[in-house]
Copies of this chain bind each other. A is one copy, B any other.
Amino acid sequence: MENDVTSPFLLRADGTPVRVLVVDDEPDLTEVVSGALRYEGWEVRTASDGASALATARTFRPDAVVLDWMLPDADGLTVLRGLRAELEGVCVLFLTARDAVEDRIAGITAGGDDYVTKPFSLEEVLARLRGLLRRAGMARRSDLLQADRLVVGDLVMDERAREVTRGGVVIELSRTEFELLRFLMRNPRRVLSKAQILDRVWSYDFGGKAHVVELYISYLRKKIDAGRTPLIHTVRGVGYVLKPDAP
């Protein structure tokens, strides 16, 4: 029961849930993102344009904002300035198209905010949001934020350094392998279906089949379990679990 991703409350210092405002003009996208955030215990509101985002921010007073860079009525930088004026120390995570990245974004990350390029995976958004709040000093309150280091048995992941070791030995992982493993390590001893994994680790626009999950599990096994007592277990007809042998 410890280290449970679904522990229903993600609390701030004052005991109220952490609040996030999701702003995007595509309803499907806000639906998926806000759903995942709610599932993880955040208190979520959504908005579909810059004006209503600012209005909602004023009353809702979120700790963080997930904000589309290109909104119908406003440009990202403008909205950012508006938010900054209204909310002291709010964290902002931008969602941007891949080619719109270069320009201004550089300046944003300097200010402590961050961005994710579309199409993104939910794991990516969640990880970045956790990182932002952690850096903003909102950490140590909840289990969900405090894990800079994930540990399962002798397998250790340092999220910030993006380094994984097993028994002290460094393991090189590709981007997708890393995200898959992070998701598994955030849900130890819990069986995760391929659909669940696909929904969280792969981008929302991924058209392929759940077969990729099997493939990447096999990659991970080769790197992590090779020759050692396995941590990744198959539950036939259900999914996969990550767990140490001795509970």
**Chain A interfacial positions (CB closer than 8 Å to B):** 1, 6, 8, 27-28, 31-32, 35-36, 38-39, 77, 81, 84, 89, 101-102, 105-113, 115, 122, 135-137, 148, 160-162, 174-175, 189-191, 193, 195-196, 198-200, 204, 206, 209-210, 235-238, 241, 243
Contact = CB atoms under 8 A, between A and B. Distances in A.
A2 to B, nearest CB: 13
Q: Which of A39, A115, A210 has the most CB of B within 10 A?
A: A39
Nearest to A108: B199
A27 B137 CA distance: 26
A180 B87 CA distance: 32
A8 to B, nearest CB: 4
Contacts of A109: 193, 195-196, 199
A106 B160 CA distance: 29
A178 B92 CA distance: 30
A174 B111 contact: no
Nearest to A126: B110
A147 to B, nearest CB: 13
Contacts of A175: 236-238
A199 B110 contact: yes
Contacts of A162: 191, 235, 238, 241
A196 B1 CA distance: 33
B161 A110 contact: no
B161 A241 contact: yes
Contacts of A243: 161
A56 to B, nearest CB: 16
Q: Which of A102, A110, A175, A189 has the most CB of B within 10 A?
A: A110
